[in-house]
């Protein structure tokens, strides 16, 4: 997923960060950040997980795009930092849970969080989120999303059908076993108009 809509949503709807929202996490810079640079949110793409295709003759898979928001807090007063974490976590939920990061995505869902580190000066807590979309189009008029769809789009349109019928019955009495005799009993054609 594009991280920019998530970044913009956090920056716009989480006033507690006072524009201290960045994309990416540099662990060395987190160790040297001073108290005036907290609380801060670091938005990072994590991974995507694909389900197996739900169809046999096409591709239709659910893709789960995962990302996290890492919160950096001043922990010189651990009790106050943990209380602040509780409030910031709720603020992030209000900003992200239910938000659609793109037209093709389902709304974002919360996937859990965990304490990464807590020392005398810094608290780092990570919250994981995900949003899902379908890989493989729903309608023929939509653009191809897979190689198979692209290949099918390159085929010529079906313009007509010719059917030739060699009936099993009546069987040819000169043959030892019943079955088609090789003579066509019926032929018909039809044209398709778009």
This prediction's pTM: 0.72
Tell me the pLDDT tens digit for each residue of 148-158: 878 887 888 88
Of 10-19, 47-56, 67-76, 137-146, give the lowest mean pLDDT range.
Answer: 137-146
Structure tokens, 8 = 């913009």
pLDDT over 80 (residue 26): no
Q: What does residue 66 show for φ and ψ, rounded to 5 degrees? A: -110, 145
Q: Peptide bond before 114: cis, by omega within 30 degrees of 0?
A: no
**Distance between CA 76 and CA 123 in Å, rounded?**
9
Q: DSSP secondary structure string, 163-178?
A: EEE--SSSPPTTSSS-
Q: Are 158 and 192 in contact (CB under 8 A)?
A: yes
Residue 68, strand partner residues: 44, 128
User: What is the C-alpha end-to-end distance of the chain, expressed in Å?
Assistant: 37
Strands 21-23 vs 40-50: parallel, antiparallel or unpaired: parallel
Q: What does residue 189 show for φ and ψ, rounded to 5 degrees? A: -130, 155
pLDDT over 60 (residue 33): no
3-state secondary structure 45-66: EEEEEECCCCCCCCCCEEEEEE
Domains of the chain as residue ranges with CATH: 4-135 (3.30.2000.10)
Angle at CA of residue 47, ends 91 and 58, nearest 5° = 120
**Distance between CA 45 and CA 59 in Å, rounded?**
25
- Tell me the pLDDT of the chain averaged across its residues: 83
Percent share of the chain, pLDDT over 90? 27
CA-based nearest residue to 131, from 156, 157, 163, 106: 106
């Amino acid at each position: 997923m594009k991280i920019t809509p998530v970044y913009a949503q956090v920056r716009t709807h989480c006033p507690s960060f006072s524009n201290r929202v960045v994309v990416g996490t540099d662990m060395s810079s987190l160790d040297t950040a001073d108290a005036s640079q907290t609380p801060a949110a670091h938005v990072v793409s994590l991974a995507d997980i694909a389900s197996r295709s739900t169809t046999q003759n096409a591709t239709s898979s659910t893709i789960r795009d995962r990302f996290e928001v890492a919160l950096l807090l001043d922990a010189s007063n651990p009790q106050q930092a943990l209380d602040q974490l509780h409030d910031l976590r709720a603020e992030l939920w209000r900003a992200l849970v239910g938000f659609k990061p793109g037209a093709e995505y389902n709304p974002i869902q919360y996937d859990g969080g965990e304490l990464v580190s807590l020392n005398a000066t810094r608290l780092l807590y990570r919250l994981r989120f995900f949003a899902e979309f379908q890989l493989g189009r729903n309608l023929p008029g939509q653009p191809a999303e897979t190689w198979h769809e692209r290949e099918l789009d390159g085929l010529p349109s079906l313009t007509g059908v010719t059917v030739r019928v060699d009936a099993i019955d009546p069987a040819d009495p000169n043959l030892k076993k019943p079955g088609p005799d090789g003579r066509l009993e019926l032929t018909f054609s039809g044209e398709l108009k778009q």
